[in-house]
Structure 1
């Protein structure tokens, strides 16, 4: 079911403001480990299954939990002045809403940056540099965790033919978890690229609106971010985003047969 079909459901549409307002934030913007947030995540898994997106009933491994914690930053807006929209973004992160529901406008970060109160144009350049630098610093840890998860998934898939006590449901659940993990990595790779594009758009428009020498430092930070973002490229085939339904192309099931 597409985002329009989802939002056409009157009961769900009416409930979204209530759900969004109840999402409880933890430290560093991550979801707090509360019963309510667990319920939101569980509802997101059910919604993903309803859309035929991969959602395995298997429990998460420790690395899979860490992968999802590290993905949080890149699945939320880099800077959003509107609490309600940020909460809706969290529901998208939890997969209660489909990923394509949130528009990827290059100007979104710049608009949010300009909407914030700032004492001087310099502070906006520095804010941009700080956000982009934080993204770049955290990408290697995400890439390392993703590599461990994908190696474990490869072991999981290779073991399936040799375990005779598995039934069809077990095999399908294993395949769904592999697809789920790969699609999460593909989603973060896509969002990291879009965030970099948003930072670039903001820097170029700041340079025209309020030129300042701080732009030189911001340019260096964006080069640092671009280099770090490339760590995600070898993790999956180039068409993984399309295979996961994050871009026009094949459906989600095709990700199950991508190379390990």
Structure 2
């Protein structure tokens, strides 16, 4: 008989086996409960409300409940600040949100994953996004005319361009807030314990969010470019010239984001002519028919 395994003298039952079986059942129940809770969070994360221009709207679930869960989980792996958000930080988060997701494109930017990343419930996964998703969505969406896909692509690029100046301005304001915090920390002495740690943690959080925005802008530009290149092969039309010009302007903002140049040229008025993109086509037959939206 195995050591530690005791058999009842009358019934012959093995108590360790029963105990192990009960422990296994408890473990299984806990795993199932954890899975159900995680699934519930995933479903909840998938429906963050947005308003005009894709900016996030207030929501108790998404502004309080999910961040509270995410903060608890994040403390186990990275710096977390106890500071309240400034108006500038809240504005940055609201304005950058539309670049981190793309509801109009059927989750081509992984909206659910973005919300779990924003609330810090899950680790970042946007590093693994592939640039073919937008084109795949555009390709399978039904239009009466193939030319309208170019119009759709151009509208999405122009929507990004329209909100880029104010988004850059909001990031610039947060960078200034972090600078002011550092100056105040260095010059003041009557501070609560942990003030320095909170300043460093908030700087980490803001830098993390800004870097996420930088990746998102470049991902959009690369996704749009991939779509245009493939549309030129699949359904070549003269409308591609307009899209190419819009993408040239977007490349200007993507380059500035990569350089972290958020505080210069606030209107982006120097975007035209400042970036050269190799032509995607040689000569196109004029095709200037005006096509209504699908």
Partners of 1:78 and 1:32 in 2: CA distance = 14
Superposed displacement of residue 41, structure 1: 2.9
Partners of 1:22 and 1:199 in 2: CA distance = 25
Where does residue 47 of structure 1 map in the other structure?
A: 73
Where does residue 113 of structure 1 map in the other structure?
A: 138
Partners of 2:99 and 2:257 in 1: CA distance = 13
Equivalences for 1:33-182 in 2 at 5 Å? Answer: 33-38=58-63, 39-52=65-78, 54-77=79-102, 79-82=104-107, 85-100=110-125, 103-182=128-207
Where does residue 227 of structure 2 map in the other structure?
A: 202
Q: Tell me the TM-score normalized by structure 2.
A: 0.69
Superposed displacement of residue 18, structure 1: 3.5
- Structure with bigger RCO (C-alpha 8 Å, 6+ apart): 1
Task: Give CA deviations for 1:208-241 in whole Å, capped at 9, x if unaligned.
Answer: 11111111111001001111223324437xxxxx
Flag the 1:17–1:230 CA change in 2: closer, same or farther, 3 A: closer
Superposed displacement of residue 195, structure 1: 0.9
Q: 2:236 aligns with which of 198, 203, 211?
A: 211
Flag the 1:212–1:191 CA change in 2: closer, same or farther, 3 A: same
The structure with more radius of gyration: 2
Unaligned runs of 5+ in 2: 1-33, 262-294
Instruction: Give 3-state SS (helix, strand or coil) of 2:128's partner.
Output: coil
Instruction: Give 3-state SS (helix, strand or coil) of 1:166's partner.
Output: coil
Instruction: Give 3-state SS (helix, strand or coil) of 2:175's partner.
Output: helix
User: How many residue pairs end up in the alignment?
Assistant: 227
Q: Is the 8 A contact 2:99 2:216 kept in 1?
A: yes
Flag the 1:176–1:93 CA change in 2: closer, same or farther, 3 A: same
Superposed displacement of residue 89, structure 1: 3.0
Partners of 1:26 and 1:89 in 2: CA distance = 17
1:222 lines up with 2:247 in the alignment: yes
Flag the 1:216–1:78 CA change in 2: closer, same or farther, 3 A: farther
Flag the 1:11–1:165 CA change in 2: closer, same or farther, 3 A: farther
Task: Give CA deviations for 1:100-135 in whole Å, capped at 9, x if unaligned.
Answer: 267310101111112322221111111111111211
Partners of 2:75 and 2:99 in 1: CA distance = 23
Flag the structure with higher helix content: 1
Superposed displacement of residue 28, structure 1: 3.8
RMSD between aligned residues: 2.5
Partners of 2:132 and 2:72 in 1: CA distance = 32
Q: Is the 8 A contact 1:139 1:229 kept in 2?
A: no
